[in-house]
Chain A
Amino acid sequence: MNRPPPPIPGPQRNTPWRTVSAVVSGARHRLHQQACQDVLRTAVIDEHRLLVTLADGAGSAKYGGDGAELATAAALRRLAGYRPASTPPASASGPADDLPATIRQSLADARTAIEQEAARRKVAPRELATTLLVAVATADWIAAGQIGDGAVIWGEGADEWRTLTRPASGEYLNETVFVTSEGALATAQIVRQEGPVREVALFSDGLQMLALKLATAEPHAPFFRPLFRWHREARDPIAAARTLDQWLRSPRVTERTDDDLSLCLAAWDTPWPFSSSSPPNVQSAHDSAGTRTPAAGRDDSPKRDGPSRSAGPHKPVDFSADYTSAATAGCIDTEVA
């Protein structure tokens, strides 16, 4: 397969959030020349609100990867529009706050986007079936929404982590809920926790057997401890993304899972050390009115569509001016140079 150069998940600039992401296609998908169907997007708003959306397109769906693209983009757009109440809520029962409603709406937007695209292509929405995880985090609180498997975990910086949203599966391991499933929105997990929030991770189902104790769905600390320590000590965001990518391809990991793998790590208060000569990676179009316009018709992130991904005319996510920075990770099928 002759793919375009892989997009490297871009580091977030001008924010205390340090993120690193990697998305790799599973051994089985490569064997069968299937396109990777995981898509991960990150953004930081107002320099301190971290947004992550992660979708894992269903292998059983013809356009699962396209569904994942649409779902992550639509959800991120909604989350980016969220503004906390002027008084930060002190507790879950604190001042009225529409964050859970925004999370729910972001999941609904994802579903709508898929339904509209399915109608345009004249296929059933389940041909674009995908799971979806979304998270919004500040140093003081974190909220997440989830349909399907994968998980969102977080920690207060004490080398302990907790599960915020967990894999939702039915009786059978391979039967999960998708954004397009009946009742998906009604049964979606939507959780909000007060911090302090120091570490956040999102991952798709390919990693959940390794990262979670499945009986309780709690994070396996010996998995995350070295990972976050490495993450905090890394010096170079590009090298870190490459290291994470290579680790996800290492034999010890691929022996245990041959699914697509996505992982996003975020740590508060450890900004990446950017040199002043670093090129900006903000993809933006000015829009002070709050209505969103496409990024000047220009999407400078490399195309993620693989040869087996159908060529739908996707609108790029309109990264508006109020993004501190934004990045997307599709599958990286070739070695990072």
Chain B
Amino acid sequence: MAENIHLEDAIEFAENPEPRCPCVLVLDTSASMQGEAIEALNQGLVTFRENLIKDPMASRRVEVAVIAFDNEIRVVQDFITPDRFEPPRLTAQGQTFMGGAIQKALDLIQARKQQYRANGVAYYRPWAFLITDGEPQGEPESVVQSAAQRLKNDETAKRVAFFAVGVEGANMETLGTLVVRTPVKLHGLNFAEMFVWLSRSMEAIAQSRTDEQVALPPPGWASV
């Protein structure tokens, strides 16, 4: 009779909310991105989604948000799971309000964590991914400085893992002073490969367990 209890049917699982793995893309849409670059970036976002939805765990756990910045800082997409993420078609214009965009990304992350906590949702350390082909432009210097300072504090407190990718023309030196982690330089307009790598990294995070930050494998699409 013992073997009559069929474990697979009998056992009920606890209904816990799916843990979340937030990722904010902070994308430069200033005038210099016009043409090929913005097209490649748009296509890269499609690739990103396609790769995330292929992994069942990632498609349930990853949450993507998109911030576009030029003379304006817009939340193009608030946090959403990959299956419901519709990649935006970004256009390029104006200057490069990078400091404000970094602040916005950190705000968005902070707010999302509060929502997670209020709803008893477990979560992974949020990632932010800044992509630019320039440097801060058109903003008061103080805005940029306070963004850099806040980012340092947030990294130290492990509130976020913030990565920067420079496209051809980006001022890597300035980027290096803004973000804590060493920025990487994209080879050509290889956004597709970069986003494949990013989606794999998000999948890995959604599986991994560690007592320290996941080390980045050396990306094939970029160099330091």
Contacts and interface: CB of A to CB of B under 8 A. Distances in A.
A229 B1 CA distance: 11
Q: Which of B14, B56, B123, B124 counts the most A-chain CB atoms under 10 A from its CB?
A: B14
B205 A214 contact: no
Interface stretch (B3-11, B67-75, B128-136): B3-11
Interface stretch (A138-146, A154-162, A219-227): A219-227
B40 interface: no
Contact of A209 (B3, B12, B14, B209): B14
Contacts of A222: 11-12
Given A58-B209, A173-B19, A205-B209, A210 B13 contact: yes
B11 A226 contact: yes
B19 to A, nearest CB: 5
A173 B18 CA distance: 11
A59 B208 CA distance: 7
The bracket for how many chain A residues form the interface is: 35 or more
A175 B13 contact: no
A60 B209 contact: yes
Contacts of A175: 125, 209-212
Most chain B beta carbons < 10 A, residue from A172, A212, A239? A172
Interface string B172-214: 0000000000000000000000000000000001011111101
B122 interface: yes
A129 interface: yes
A59 B12 contact: no
B219 to A, nearest CB: 19
B138 interface: no
A174 B158 CA distance: 13
A221 to B, nearest CB: 9
A177 B209 CA distance: 10
B224 interface: no
Contact of A59 (B3, B120, B209, B212): B209
Nearest to B2: A233
A296 B90 CA distance: 71
A303 interface: no
Interface residues of B, number: 29
A227 B11 contact: yes
Nearest to A219: B14
A251 to B, nearest CB: 8
Given A60-B208, A175-B210, A259-B207, A223 B14 contact: yes
A173 B123 contact: yes
Contact of A213 (B8, B14, B19, B205): B14
A177 B211 CA distance: 6
A235 B2 CA distance: 7
A104 B221 CA distance: 48
A173 B211 contact: no
B16 interface: yes
A303 to B, nearest CB: 26
A169 to B, nearest CB: 8
Q: Which of B56, B120, B210 has the most CB of A within 10 A?
A: B210
Given A60-B214, A235-B2, A230 B16 contact: no
Q: Nearest 5 A-B pairs (CB), nearest first?
A: A226-B10, A220-B14, A222-B12, A233-B2, A230-B5
Given A211-B13, A213-B14, A227-B7, 19 more contacts: A59-B209, A60-B208, A126-B211, A171-B125, A171-B158, A172-B125, A172-B158, A178-B211, A205-B209, A209-B13, A214-B16, A214-B122, A215-B120, A223-B11, A223-B13, A227-B10, A247-B11, A250-B7, A258-B57
